[in-house]
Amino acid sequence: MKGRVITAAAALGALAVAGCGSSSSGGGTSGSGGGTAAKSCVATIGFEGPITGPVAVLGTEQLHFANLALSMDNKANKTKITLKQGDTQLQPSQATTVTQQFTSNSNMVAVVGPAGSQEVEAVGPLFARAGMPFITGSATAAALTTGKYPTFFRVVSKDSVQGPQDANYIVKTLHPKSLMIVDDQEAYSTGLVAAMTPVFKAAGIKVDHESVPQTNVDFSSLVSKVTPSTSVVVLPWQVAANAQQFGRDLAQQHKKTVIFGTDGLFSPGTFTISGSYVSSFGPDITAIPADASIAAAAKAKYGSFGTFGPPVFAATHVIDEAIASVCKAGQTPSRSNVLAAIKKTNESSSILGQPIQFNSHGDLVNGKFFLFKISSSGKYQLIPG
């Protein structure tokens, strides 16, 4: 019995070794990198994100939009770019392993992701050493673009822009006497809280800072703490469904507080508490005619989506266009020329409703913010100006 196990295990091992031998280092690719440039533009890009694990909802949405952008761009530009996925489960140590896998893959020229600011901190040096560009659609910590990661780009604005902008709006338009701000113990959230709280304090507003883990779904105790004079509760969260539940608990306990959410709550299918405000990097793509085909395709293939997909679509599109321009110039896509092409990105319009251009540190130039108010029927209405 045990002998059979050993024989079988040996056979399995031989199979695996044969597999290792036949595929290139780090994983087999379908399509040789490069090839004859003029004929077909072939390249491999990677996607790093939390595809499984505690925030699989974010990662799967991002992956879907990356694949969507890829298929649309391949058809439009007649390129043959393939995507390899790497699952990080939002754990920086796993992000390191995935990044090593990607950088060891000589055919890979660029990466979309990773999703979290922590992961960017963990893998930034690795990408820099490999000279591989990576564009994120969701890591918003301000500290990432101080120049320490020369190959890092992002298509969304950072916390130090969104935070004060939202806070100023609250102070000037909503005039709360006291407010509650709750973070979800993730870097995105605490970064925004740190950016917003000084603005509130300077305006003399009483701030009650609470904190619940992202896995928490029961907010009744927290909502009980909302006093009658607290007219605004700020929820810089990533999980829109949590905010929806919070709003429900507010209604159930008959509290009239207004919820103000940041871009993580932008999810017309999930967060629909009437009277709430939501700020976002991108407009509601279902409301933009130019994005109609993308939104329809996404909805048909993947169902409802929130705020994390479109920025990744934009990031993937940037990379696709960079690769296509390299091929059009007659060169074989490589990390260095794709990096150079990305730096020169100048899209006058994008799925995010604004032009895309990167500054020298990789930040999006003139990132616009859109503010929405949710009507009584649950629809997101853009607040002008």
Partner 1 sequence: MAFFFQELVNGVTTGALYSLVALGFSMVYGVLKLLNFAHGDLYMVGAFVGYFLIQWFGGPSALGIPVPLLLIIMFVLAGGLVGGLGVAIERFAYRPLRDAPRIAPLITAIGISFFLENSVLLLFGGQTRVYNTPDFISLSSGITIGPITIDTVQILVLVSGAVLMIGLRLLVSRTGLGRQMRAVASDREAAEMLGINVNMTIAATFFIGSALAGVAGVMAGLMFNQVANTIGFLVGLKAFTAAVVGGIGSIPGAMLGGLLIGIAESMITGYVSSTFTNLIVFGILIVVMLARPSGLLGRVQLAKV
Partner 2 sequence: MSHEPEPLPAGAPAPGPAAPEPPASGPRVGADEWVARQAQRREYLPGWRGDAQRLGDRVGWWPRLGTAAAVAALLPLFGLGGFQLQVGINALLLALLAVGLNVTVGWAGLLDLGYVAFFGFGAYGFALLSSGQIGSSGIHLPAYLSLPAVIIGAAILGLLVGLPSRRLIGDYLAIVTLFFGEAFVEFTNNVAPHTLGGPNGIVGIDPIRIGIKFIGTEGLQLTTNRDYYYLLLVLLVVTMAGLHLLDRSRTGRAWRAVRDDPLAAASMTIPVNRVKLMAFALGAMIAALAGSVFAAQQISVFPPDFNTAYLILIYAGLILGGAGSIAGAVVGGLTVVVILDGLLRSPTEAGYIFYGLILVSLVVKVRPWRKLGALLAATIALGFAAHAIAGAISASAVAGGPQSGGWIGSALRDWIIVPASAQTAGNVGFVLVVCLLIALVQLHGRWRTALLVPTIYLAACVWEARLAAEPSITRQILIGAILIVMMNSRPQGLLGSRRVEVIT
Residues that bind partner 1 (CB under 8 A): 52-54, 56-57, 59-61, 182, 185, 209-213, 215, 217-218, 220-222, 224-225, 239, 241-242, 244-245, 248, 251-254, 270, 302-305
How far from 339 is each of 77, 134, 140, 325, CA to CA, in Å?
Answer: 19, 9, 21, 12
Minimal distance, residue 84 CB to partner 2, in Å: 8
Minimal distance, residue 71 CB to partner 2, in Å: 14
Distance, CA of 286 to CA of 302 (rounded, Å):
14
| Residues in Cβ contact with 152 at an 8 Å cutoff, skipping those fewer than 6 apart | 120, 124, 127, 133, 134, 135, 136, 144, 145, 362
Best CA proximity match to 55, nearest among 88, 33, 22, 94: 88
Minimal distance, residue 40 CB to partner 2, in Å: 18
Minimal distance, residue 243 CB to partner 1, in Å: 11
By C-beta, is 253 or 366 nearer to partner 1?
Answer: 253
Q: Give counts: helices (H), strands (E), the chain.
A: 11, 14
Selection from partner 1, partner 2, none that 212 binds (CB < 5 to 8 A by kind) is partner 1
Distance, CA of 253 to CA of 270 (rounded, Å):
21
Stated as kind and residue range, the H or E segment containing 206 is: strand 206-211
Selection from partner 1, partner 2, none that 9 binds (CB < 5 to 8 A by kind) is partner 2
Selection from partner 2, partner 1, none that 36 binds (CB < 5 to 8 A by kind) is none
Q: Which pair of structure tokens corresponds to residue 116?
A: 């979290």
Q: Which residue stretch of 10-18, 153-161, 291-299, 322-330 sits at the interface with partner 2 (rule: CB under 8 A)? A: 10-18
Minimal distance, residue 212 CB to partner 1, in Å: 5
How far does the chain reach from its first CA to its final CA, in angstroms? 75
Selection from partner 1, partner 2, none that 375 binds (CB < 5 to 8 A by kind) is none
The residues that bridge with 259 in the sheet, in sequence order, are 233
By C-beta, is 129 or 301 nearer to partner 1?
Answer: 301
Q: Which of 80, 112, 125, 343 binds partner 2 (CB under 8 A)?
A: 125
Greatest C-alpha distance within the chain: 77
33 binds partner 2 (CB under 8 A): no
230 binds partner 2 (CB under 8 A): no
Minimal distance, residue 210 CB to partner 2, in Å: 12
297 binds partner 2 (CB under 8 A): no
Instruction: Report the SS3 class of residue 221.
Output: helix
143 binds partner 2 (CB under 8 A): yes
Cβ atoms of residues 82 and 28 within 8 Å: no
Q: Which of 46, 86, 113, 268 binds partner 2 (CB under 8 A)?
A: 86
By C-beta, is 133 or 191 nearer to partner 1?
Answer: 191
Cβ atoms of residues 273 and 244 within 8 Å: yes
| Residues in Cβ contact with 315 at an 8 Å cutoff, skipping those fewer than 6 apart | 66, 112, 135, 136, 137, 153, 154, 155
Where on the chain is the footprint of partner 2 (CB under 8 A)? 1-9, 11-12, 15-16, 19-20, 22-23, 25-28, 30, 51-53, 85-87, 89-93, 96-98, 100-101, 103-105, 117-118, 121-122, 125, 141, 143, 185-187, 189-191, 211, 213
